[in-house]
């Protein structure tokens, strides 16, 4: 490479950095050599670089959205065993993976006993929404209520409310594990009614509707919350026993079959 080429490259990279085009900066030399070898014209060269930058930019944005959603663990639909949970409508889940429910401001309610895959499905659906460009945030319901109560008298309350209002999809996991205080229930109701017809909600709960009063306290608040939540809502029921228990039992059975002389490992059953 000539010295003038090196100087141009250094200057070019400098300008590209200012223009925030890091992929073009990283790839321009390699792609230029390839374009020269292929006899590609200047426009084809420029087009290829722009495409690389756009692809990378989209990938970086998707990674940022995934990080901002703060999933406790990443779960995908590929690892969800539909055969083990026949009450879950696979066709409906596949339809929801297209994320049209978010454009239609519809909600998803996942109802079932602990360990039946509600959080797994909620996370897989919400991670897909991140990949498709929607702004998502995952909260354990008690965590959101605590955050709201702690921020209530401060400026951070407004900031938290503003950040919630900017979302396309809000996940409220484990609604109903712990009864909310009167203030907590009112703040939660406020979040749900602000989201109504603006932000889609995915709510997971172990409680049937008739028991929601135990968590939210008053009949009036429960009625109003359910009214907003269940208007335009898809319900997925994860019926049956805990997957972990089912999995542990299956493993224990395999152990018994493989090693008939050895006792079953109790630890694997109780895990």
In the bound complex, what is the minimum distance in angstroms from residue 37's beta carbon to ligand ADP? 49
Among 48, 119, 141, 225, binds Mg ion (CB under 5 A): 119
Q: Which is nearer to ligand ADP, 37 or 91 (CB)?
A: 91
In the bound complex, what is the minimum distance in angstroms from residue 271's beta carbon to ligand ADP? 11
- Residue 184's contacts (CB-CB under 8 Å, 6 or more residues apart) are 145, 148, 149
- Residue 123's contacts (CB-CB under 8 Å, 6 or more residues apart) are 71, 72, 73, 74, 75, 138, 171
Q: Give yes or no for residue 85 binding ligand ADP (CB under 6 A).
A: yes
**Pairwise CA distance, residues 221 & 265, whole Å:** 48
**Pairwise CA distance, residues 71 & 90, whole Å:** 23
Q: One symbol per residue from 161 to 200: x for binding ligand ADP (CB under 6 A), - otherwise; what is it?
A: ----------------------------------------
Distance of CA 87 to the CA centre of its chain: 22
- Residue 209 burial by CB count (10 A; 0-12/13-18/19+): exposed, middle or buried? middle
In the bound complex, what is the minimum distance in angstroms from residue 178's beta carbon to ligand ADP? 14
Q: Give yes or no for residue 140 binding ligand ADP (CB under 6 A).
A: no
Q: Give yes or no for residue 243 binding ligand ADP (CB under 6 A).
A: yes
Which residue carries 């919350």 as its tokens? 225
Q: Give yes or no for residue 228 binding ligand ADP (CB under 6 A).
A: no
Q: One symbol per residue from 201 to 220: x for binding ligand ADP (CB under 6 A), - otherwise; what is it?
A: ---x----------------
Q: Give yes or no for residue 239 binding ligand ADP (CB under 6 A).
A: no
Token pair of 230 as six digits: 């269940």
Token pair of 252 as six digits: 């224990």
Q: Which is nearer to ligand ADP, 165 or 235 (CB)?
A: 235
Query: Applying CB under 5 A, which residues contact Mg ion?
Result: 119
């Amino acid at each position: 490479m000539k010295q003038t080429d090196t100087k141009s490259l250094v200057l070019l990279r400098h300008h590209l950095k200012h223009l925030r085009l890091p992929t073009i900066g990283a790839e321009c030399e390699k792609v230029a050599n390839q374009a020269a070898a292929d006899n590609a014209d200047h426009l084809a060269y420029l087009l290829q670089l722009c495409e690389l930058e756009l692809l990378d930019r989209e990938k970086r944005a998707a990674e940022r959205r995934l990080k901002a959603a703060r999933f406790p663990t990443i779960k995908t639909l590929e690892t969800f065993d539909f055969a083990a949970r026949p009450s879950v409508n696979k066709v409906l889940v596949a339809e929801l993976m297209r994320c049209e429910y978010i454009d239609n401001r519809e909600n998803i309610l996942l109802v079932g006993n602990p360990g039946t895959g509600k959080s797994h499905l909620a996370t897989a659906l919400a991670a897909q929404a991140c990949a498709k460009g929607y702004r998502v945030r995952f909260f354990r319901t008690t965590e959101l209520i605590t955050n709201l109560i702690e921020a209530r008298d401060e400026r951070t309350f407004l900031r938290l409310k503003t950040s919630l209002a900017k979302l396309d999809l809000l996940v409220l996991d484990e609604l109903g594990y712990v009864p909310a205080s009167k203030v907590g229930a009112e703040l939660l109701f406020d979040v749900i009614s602000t989201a109504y017809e603006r932000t889609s909600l995915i709510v997971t709960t172990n409680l049937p509707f008739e028991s929601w009063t135990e968590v939210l306290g008053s009949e009036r608040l429960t009625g109003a919350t359910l009214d907003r939540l269940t208007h335009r809502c898809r319900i997925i029921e994860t019926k049956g026993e805990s997957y972990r228990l089912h999995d542990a039992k299956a493993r224990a059975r395999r152990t018994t079959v493989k090693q008939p002389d050895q006792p079953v490992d109790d630890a694997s059953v109780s895990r």
